[in-house]
Amino acid sequence: MNALESTSTRPYLIRALYDWCTDNGFTPYVAVLVDETVQVPREYVKNGEIVLNISFDATSSLKLGNEFIEFKARFAGTAREIIVPVNRVIAIYARENGQGMAFPVAVPSSAGSSDDAKAGSPLSSVPAAGAGSSDGESKVVQLVTPEGNGGSPTEPPKPPGGPRPALKRIK
C-alpha cells in the first residue's frame, strides 16, 4: 500500500490528542468547519465554524471514529445528537493552554482550475506525490533547513557549543 492509498492520519491524531488532553486533566475542544455534512445546532455556528467541548463530562456516547466524531451533548439544556465528519475538523486543542493541532482545511474539488483548489491548503507549495491528485492530505512533506544555519542546505545544523553531556552511573 502506498501513501496515496493509505487512510488519513487525521482521525488517529485527533484520538491521540484527545487522549493526551484527558490524561493531563485538560478539556479537549474541536474546532469544526461547518457545512451541510456537519450535524450541529446551527444557532451556535459563527462565521461558518463551531467549537465543541468533547470532554467526558460534556458528552455522552462519544465515538471518535475514522470517518465521523459522534456524540450527544446538551445545548441550553436540550440534548442534541452531534455528527462531525473527521475531514471537517480544523483543530483539536486543550482549552486550558491552547496546545493542540490544527489541520489543513479540506477544499472540495470543483470544475475550476486545480490551482484554485490548492490555494486553500497550507501545504500548497509542497509538490504532491501524484501530480494529478487533488486530495489535500496526499501531499509529500519535505524537510527544509532554515536559512542562516551557517552551512549549505545539505549540511545538518551545528549543535550548540559547550561540553558534551555525560552519563554518571551511581551504584
How far is residue 23's CA from residue 6's CA, in Å, rounded to a whole number?
Answer: 29
Instruction: Check pLDDT > 70 for residue 108.
Output: no
Say what the pLDDT of residue 168 is: 72
Give the H/E segment covering residue 71. Answer: strand 68-75
Q: Tens digits of per-residue pLDDT, 135-147?
A: 444 444 444 444 4
pLDDT tops 90 at residue 101: yes
Top pLDDT among 140 and 65 is at 65
CA dihedral 56, 57, 58, 61 (to 10 degrees): 50
User: Rounded to two decimals, what is the model's pTM?
Assistant: 0.61
At residue 104, the pLDDT reads: 87
Q: In this model, does residue 20 exceed pLDDT 70?
A: yes
